[in-house]
Structure 1
Amino acid sequence: MTHLDAAPPRTFLSPFRLKRHVMPGFSLTLGTSLLFVCLIILLPLSGLFWQMSQLGLADYWRIISSERTLASFRVTISAAAFATLFNAVFGLLLAYVLVRYKFPGKRLLDALVDLPFALPTAVAGIALVALYDKNGWMGTLLSAVGLKVAYTWWGIVLAMMFTSVPFGVRTVQPVLESLKPDAEEAARTLGARDWQVFRHIVFPQVWPSFITGASLAFARSLGEFGAVIFIAGNMPFKTEIASLLIMIRLEEYDYPAASAIAGTILLIALFVLVAANIAQSRATRHLHKGSS
C-alpha cells in the first residue's frame, strides 16, 4: 500500500464548530439581546408593575371597576377592535393591489402607507379635526347628511385607523410578494374563479401574517393618545379613552390609579399578542403540513 492509498487522518470536530455564522458567537449575541430587552423593555415595565404592587387587590379592583374607568375601557377597546377589523381587511386588499397590479402612482401609494409611522400623532389628530369638524371640508359634507365624526366615538375609530393602518399592509405584503403563481394559474386552468383562487390558495398562505398584522394594529390602537385626544372630545363616560384617563390621574398625582389603569391596558394588549402568536404558530404548522 502506498502513501497515496492511506486513509486521511480523522479529525473529531464538534458539530457546533462546523457551522459558520455571519454574526458573532451565540454567547455574545444572546447577551447583547438580553441586555437590550432588559434596559429598553423589562426595566420600564418592572417600574410600572412595581407601582402596581403598592396597591392591594381591593384597591386595584376599586380603581379598575369604577364607572369612569370601565367607560374608558369600553370606549378604547371597542374603538380599537373596530379600527383593527377595518385595517385588517383594508390592509390585505391594499397589499394585494400593490403586489399584483401595476398602475400609475403605485410607488407614491406604497410610500403613503408608511406616512402614519413618520407623522407625529398629535399632528395627525389636529389634521383630522380640521378635516372632520363641522366647519371642515369633510365635516361639512357629512353634516349635510346628518353624520358627525369629530368629537364622537367614530372620530376615535378614525384616528386609530389612521395610526395603525401600516401594520395591516406591511405584515401581509412581503408574504404576497413571495408567493409563486403556479398554484393560482393551475387553479384558474381548472376553472376556478378569482374569488375561489384568493380564498382557497392565496388567503391560507397569508393567514399567519394577517393574524400578526391585526394583533399589532389592535395593540397600537389600545395605547394611542396623540391622534385621539384632539378628535375625541374627551367627554367622560362617552369619548374618554383610557390613555387620557391615565394622564388625568398622573396630573392629579394619583400614581397608583394611573399605574392600575395602564397595567390593565398593558395586560390586555399582552394577552392579545400572546394569543395571536399561538394562533400564528398553529396556522403556520397547519400550512406546512398541508404543503408537505
Structure 2
Amino acid sequence: MRRRVLPGFPLSLGITLFYVTLIVALPIGALIFKAASLGPEDYWRIISSGRAVASYRITVLSALGATLANLIFGLALAWVLVRYDFPGKRLVDAIVDLPFALPTSVAGIALTAMFAQNSWLGSALANIGITVVYTPLGIMIAMFFTSLPFVVRTVQPVLEDLDPALEEAAQSLGGSDWSIFRRVILPLLTPALLAGLSLSFARSLGEFGAVIFIAGNRPNSTEITSLLAFIRLEEYNYQGAAAIASVMLFAAFVMLAVTNYLQARALRYTVRS
C-alpha cells in the first residue's frame, strides 16, 4: 500500500476548505451580494461620484508613491542587512518587523506626533516649506511605514542564498560593481522584488489605521477609499459602503493577476538566463 504524503488528506482538505470558505469566501461573497443588490445605475452613481473618484486617486497615487519608496529603501535596507556587519545590526533587523507587531492606529498617532508642526521634525520641515501632517505626503509616509517590511523580508532571503561564485566570475571578467548588480544580481532578485512590491502595494491600498490620523481626512484632498467606505457604514449606508469596497476588491484582483503574470515572466527570464 502506497503511503500518503499527507496523513488524513480528506480531513485536512475538509478543514482547509472550511477555513477558506468561512474566512475568505463568505465575507467576499457577502460584499459582492450587497453591492449587487444595487441597480446598475445606482451602483455606477455611487462609485463614480466626485468624492469617490477623488478617494481612488488619492489612495492609488499615495500607494504608488509608498511602493516606489519601498523599492529604493527596502532593497537598500535588505542589502545592508545581508552584506554588511555593523554594531546594532540585530536591533535594526528586529525593528524592520515592528510595523507587523505595532497596531496601525498607534503607528498613525506616533507619525502624526513626530511630523506635527509643533514637533522638532515637523517644524524643521515647515521651515523649508514641507508640510507632512494632513497632506498626501503624510498618507504616503504612513503607507511606507506599514508596508516596508514586505519588501525587506522577501528580498533578504534571496540575497542570503545568492551564490558568491556568480559575482566572483563577473568580477574576473572585468565587470564593474554597477554592471554586476544590474546584470547578475538584479535579475535573480526580480521575482522576489516583484512579490514584495505587490504585497507592499496591496497593504498600502488597504491601510486604514495608520493613515486616518495623519491624513486629516478632508474630502477630495486627503480622504482615502477605505475611510470613505467606513464613513458610509457610519451613515448606515451599507449598500454604498459595499459598492465602494467592491471597487477596491476588483482592484486587488486585477493587481494580483498582473503581479502573478509579471512574476511568471521574471521567473522564465531567470531560468533562461
Paired position in structure 2 for 1:3: none
* Residue 25 of structure 1, CA deviation: 4.7
User: What's the counterpart of residue 266 of structure 2?
Assistant: 283
What's the CA shift for 1:172?
A: 0.8
Deviation at 1:26, TM superposition (A): 3.9
Rounded to whole Å, the distance in 2 between the matches of 1:161 and 1:143 is 21
Instruction: Specify the alignment match of 2:146 in structure 1.
Output: 163
Report what 1:132 is aligned to: 115
Instruction: Please point out which of 210, 220, 244 is paired with 2:203.
Output: 220
Counterpart position of 1:90: 73
Match for residue 104 of structure 1?
A: 87
1:48-197 matched pairs, under 5 angstroms:
48-197=31-180
- Once residues 31 and 62 of structure 2 are traced to their aligned partners in structure 1, the CA distance between those partners, rounded to angstroms, is 25
C-alpha deviation, 1:152, in angstroms? 0.5
Per-residue deviation at 1:191? 1.1
1:125-153 deviation line (CA, Å, top 9, x unaligned): 11111110110121011011111111101
Q: Give the equivalent residue in structure 2 for 1:206.
A: 189
Identity of aligned residues (%): 57
Write the letter of the residue equivalent to 2:60: I
Q: Computing the radius of gyration over CA atoms, which structure comes out larger, 1 or 2?
A: 1
Q: CA deviation at 1:282?
A: 2.0
Displacement after TM superposition at 1:20 (Å): 5.9
Moved more, 83-92 or 107-116: 83-92
Gaps of 5+ in 2: none
Look up the SS of the partner of 2:122 in the other structure. Answer: helix
Count of residues in correspondence between the two structures? 273
| 1:224-272: CA deviation from partner (whole Å, max 9, x where unpaired) | 1110011101111101111111111011111111001111011112211
Q: Which amino acid aligns with 2:35?
A: M
Q: CA deviation at 1:193?
A: 1.1
Q: Within the alignment, does 1:271 sit opposite 2:239 as a pair?
A: no
**SS of alignment partner, residue 269 of structure 2:** helix
Q: Which runs of 4+ in 1 moved over 4 A?
A: none
Q: Can you list the C-alpha shifts for 1:91-119, whole angstroms capped at 9, x where unaligned?
A: 11111111111111111111010000000
- Native 8 Å contact 1:216 1:273 kept in 2: no
User: In the aligned structure 2, how far is the partner of 1:197 from the partner of 1:30?
Assistant: 46
Distance 1:98 1:36 in 2: 37
Deviations 1:63-121 (A, max 9, x none): 01100110111111100011011112211111111111111111111101000000000
Q: Distance in 1 between matches of 2:256 and 2:121?
A: 35
Of 202, 227, 235, which aligns to 1:244? 227
1:153/1:232 contact within 8 Å kept: yes
* CA–CA separation in structure 2 for the residues paired with 1:190 and 1:286: 22
The AA in structure 2 aligned to 1:89 is I
- SS at 1:240 equivalent: coil
* Whole-angstrom distance in 2 between the partners of 1:202 and 1:31: 42
* Separation in 1, partners of 2:172, 2:271: 24
Work out the CA distance in 2 between the residues paired with 1:238 and 1:101: 42
The structure with the largest helix share of the pair is 2
- Asked if the contact 1:95/1:169 (under 8 Å) is kept, the reply is yes
Length-normalised TM-score, structure 1: 0.90
Question: Structure 1 stretches of 5 or more lacking a match?
Answer: 1-12
Q: Secondary structure of 1:124's match?
A: helix
RMSD: 1.3
Q: Could you tell me whether the CA contact under 8 Å between 1:90 and 1:168 is conserved in 2?
A: no
Q: Which amino acid aligns with 2:106?
A: V
- Aligned counterparts of 1:123 and 1:142: Cα–Cα separation in 2: 22
- Separation of aligned partners in 2, 1:74 and 1:66: 12
- What TM-score comes out, normalization by structure 2 length? 0.96
- CA distance, structure 1, for counterparts of residue 26 and residue 231 of structure 2: 24
Secondary structure, in 3 states, of the residue corresponding to 1:172?
A: helix
2:12 equivalent to 1:29? yes
Aligned residue number for residue 8 of structure 1:
none
